Chain A
C-alpha cells in the first residue's frame, strides 16, 4: 500500500508516544489525534485519551466520531493538576516556532497593538515546563518557522535553562507535513531528524525561515505498516479528514 503524506505524518505523531506508558495523550489537530489513537491501538495501549472537554474514555473511535465509553471524569481543574504532576504528552500547534524552539500562540506583532491577535497564552508555558511536549505543523513554511517568535508562549530549551525552568522540560519533536524535527541542534536549536518519503532536504530548508541544523545522516521518516494503514483508513479516519489538514501527495 502506498502511504500518503498525511498518513506518514500521522504515524510519526503516533511514534511520539512509543514507550510513554500510562499518561494522558493530548493532541490538537486531526493528524496528531489520528496518531495518538493509532498509538493506543498498536504499541502504546496504556495511553489515556480524553474528549478534550471533561471526560477520559476507554474506547478509541474515529477522529470525527464521539467517544462512547467513559473511563473517568476529567474536568479542566483536574487537567491542570495532571500537567503539574507531569503525566502527560501534548502535541500542540503553533502560529510560530523559532530556531530556539520557542512557540507562539498568542499574537503576531507588537504586544499592545498586535497586527493579528490569536488565542492568547493558553497553557503553553505550563505544558512546556512540566511534561513532554511536541508540536504539529500542518503546513511547514517560513511564516511558521521564523528566526524569532513575536511572543514566547511555549518555552524553548535555551530559555528554560536560563530561567531554571528546565527541570521537567521534555521537548520531544516537531512533526510537519514535510519532515520530523527535534531540538538536538547546538544549544537546543531545531534540527532535522527525518524527511518524509518524496521530500528533499532543499524543500525543507526552503520552507524553514531560519538556518536549520542538518546532521550528516538524515533518514527518511518510516512508512506506516500495512496494519497501521488499515487502522487509519478503515477505523480512525474513514472519511479522510487527514487530507483536508495535509495536502495529499
Chain B
C-alpha cells in the first residue's frame, strides 16, 4: 500500500500559485496552521481561499497571498474579529465571495457530488444574491417554489489537520466535531492531511471508535506529521486553544509597529523554530 508521508515544505511545494485552496477547521478550531505557516514561507500567491475562516485567513491576507476569499465568516471565537482580516477588507484589498454558511456548506456538497449546483432555500432575499451576480435561482419542477442554485465550490486542493492519520491517509478526528473537513476533502482534486501523529492503521482504533474515522485514504493525497500543527487554534482532545498566544497575535496584529517583530519571531522561521519561539513566549509570560 502506498505510503503518502511527505515533509511539510515538500507538501506545500506541490501547490501552485493561482490555485483554489480549501482550508479545513472552523474559525479558530483545528485549523491546519502548520500548513498555513508553510505557505507563508513559500512564494505561493494569487490564491483563491475557501474557508470558514479564522487566523488562517488573517495571516494569508496580511501576507498578500489571497487573490480572492470565499467564506461564510472569519472569527477567532474567543475574540470575535481577526484584525488582519478586517484591516485587509477595510483597505479594500480583498476580493470576496461572501456566502451564508448554509450556502457555503451546500456548495461543498455539490462539488463533492460532482454536481454543478444544489438547491437551497437560504440566500433568497439577502444581499448574498446581489453581491454575487453569478448566482442563479432554480424553479422547482414540482411546485411554485424557487431556490438558490448554489454553485459547486470546486477545489484544486484541500488542507486539513486531524488528530491521527495512518501513512495511507485514513484520517481520524478525536474531538467533538468533524467540522466540514470531510466535505472539503471530497470537493477537492487532492487533499493534504496533516496530523498530530501518524500511526499504523491498526492503531487508529486505539484511541477512538471507528466512527471517528473522518474520511478514508481514497480522499487523501499527502500525509504530513505535524505535532501541534493546529497551534494556536484548538485541537481537542490533544490540546485546547492557546488563548494567551492568540491574544498576543491579536495585539500584535492591531499594532503596525509590533507586527514586524511578531513576523520575525514566529513566522520567519521553520515549523520547529515557530514552536521554539512559542515556548519562549510562554516562558516569559509565565503561562504554559
Which residues on A sit within 8 Å (CB–CB) of B254? none
> 7 shortest A-B CB distances, which residue pairs?
A126-B102, A165-B124, A54-B176, A113-B92, A155-B125, A126-B122, A120-B73
Report the Cα distance A93→B53, complex, angstroms.
Answer: 20
Minimal Cβ-Cβ distance residue in B for A70: B176
Question: A83 interface residue, CB < 8 Å from B?
Answer: yes
Question: A153 interface residue, CB < 8 Å from B?
Answer: yes
Report the Cα distance A123→B144, complex, angstroms.
Answer: 25
Q: Which of A77, A116, A118, A153 contacts B127 (CB 8 A)?
A: A153
Give B198 Cβ to nearest chain A Cβ, in Å.
24
**11 more A-B contacts (CB under 8 A) besides A54-B177, A106-B98, A151-B131?**
A75-B177, A84-B121, A107-B89, A122-B100, A123-B72, A123-B122, A124-B126, A125-B128, A126-B101, A126-B103, A164-B124
Q: Are B90 and A117 in contact (CB under 8 A)?
A: yes
Q: Which of B85, B125, B178, B183 contacts A125 (CB 8 A)?
A: B125
Q: Are A117 and B121 in contact (CB under 8 A)?
A: no
Q: Are B177 and A125 in contact (CB under 8 A)?
A: no
Minimal Cβ-Cβ distance residue in A for B234: A53
Interface set, chain B 98-128, CB cutoff 8 A to A: 98-103, 105, 120-128
> Residues 89-115 of chain A: 1 if any B CB is under 8 Å from the residue's CB, otherwise 0?
000000000000000001100011111
Which residues on A sit within 8 Å (CB–CB) of B180? 76-77
Question: B179 interface residue, CB < 8 Å from A?
Answer: yes
Question: A160 interface residue, CB < 8 Å from B?
Answer: yes
Report the Cα distance A215→B183, complex, angstroms.
Answer: 49
Which residues on B sit within 8 Å (CB–CB) of A2? none
Report the Cα distance A66→B212, complex, angstroms.
Answer: 24
Report the Cα distance A152→B128, complex, angstroms.
Answer: 8
Interface set, chain A 51-103, CB cutoff 8 A to B: 53-55, 73, 75-77, 80, 83-84
Which residues on B sit within 8 Å (CB–CB) of A129? 121-122, 124-125
Q: Are B121 and A165 in contact (CB under 8 A)?
A: yes
Q: Looking at chain B, what size class is its interface with the partner chain?
A: 35 or more
- Residue tally, chain A, CB below 8 Å to B: 45
Give A19 Cβ to nearest chain B Cβ, in Å.
25
Give B42 Cβ to nearest chain A Cβ, in Å.
27
Which residues on B sit within 8 Å (CB–CB) of A116? 86, 90
Give B67 Cβ to nearest chain A Cβ, in Å.
14
Interface residues of B (CB under 8 A from A): 26, 53, 71-75, 80-81, 85-86, 89-92, 98-103, 105, 120-128, 131, 144-146, 175-180, 183
Q: Are A120 and B127 in contact (CB under 8 A)?
A: no
Q: Are A114 and B90 in contact (CB under 8 A)?
A: yes
Which residues on B sit within 8 Å (CB–CB) of A80? 101-102, 105
Known contacts A119-B81, A120-B74, A165-B125; decide if A112 and B103 are in contact (CB<8 Å).
no
Report the Cα distance A114→B127, complex, angstroms.
Answer: 15
Which residues on A sit within 8 Å (CB–CB) of B144? 164
Which residues on B sit within 8 Å (CB–CB) of A75? 176-179
Q: Are B89 and A114 in contact (CB under 8 A)?
A: yes
> Residues 190-232 of chain A: 1 if any B CB is under 8 Å from the residue's CB, otherwise 0?
0000000000000000000000000000000000000000000
Report the Cα distance A119→B176, complex, angstroms.
Answer: 24
Q: Are B125 and A121 in contact (CB under 8 A)?
A: no
Report the Cα distance A106→B80, complex, angstroms.
Answer: 12
Question: A130 interface residue, CB < 8 Å from B?
Answer: yes
Which residues on A sit within 8 Å (CB–CB) of B183? 77
Which residues on B sit within 8 Å (CB–CB) of A55? 176
Most B CB contacts (10 A, CB to CB) among A76, A114, A156 go to A76
Report the Cα distance A112→B94, complex, angstroms.
Answer: 8
Minimal Cβ-Cβ distance residue in B for A165: B124
Report the Cα distance A124→B101, complex, angstroms.
Answer: 8
Known contacts A54-B177, A83-B102, A114-B90; decide if A121 and B72 are in contact (CB<8 Å).
yes
